[in-house]
Amino acid sequence: MEKTDIVYESTKKALINFENIKDCIRGLYEIFKITLPSEDIYFQIGQDNIEHLYENLLELMVNEVGAVEFMKKLKSAEVDLDLPLDNL
C-alpha cells in the first residue's frame, strides 16, 4: 500500500470517527432533553458539560503539535484511558 493510500484511509477513518463522536454527543443531549425539563438544573449542567466536551474535542483536533504529542503518549501508554463511569 502506498503512503498516499495510508494517509487517505487514515483521514477517512478519522472523519468517520469524528462524525461518530458528534452523533454520540447529540445522542447524549437528546437524552437530557427527553428526560429532563430544560429549566432543570441537571439539564443545564449536563448541557454545559456536553458543550465543553465538544469544544475541547475541537481544540484538541486543531492543535496539531499537541495532538501529535498526545498520540505519542497514548501509544506509549502514558495516558490513562480507563474511565470507570459507574465509580464516579
| The pLDDT of residue 24 | 92
How would residue 48 be classed by pLDDT, with cut points 50, 70 and 90?
very high
| The pLDDT of residue 88 | 54
pTM, to two decimals: 0.70
Higher pLDDT, 66 or 30: 30
| The pLDDT of residue 23 | 92
Mean pLDDT of 61-82: 80
Provide, for the chain, the percentages of residues in helix, strand and coil under a 3-state DSSP scheme, each rounded to the nearest 5: 80, 0, 20
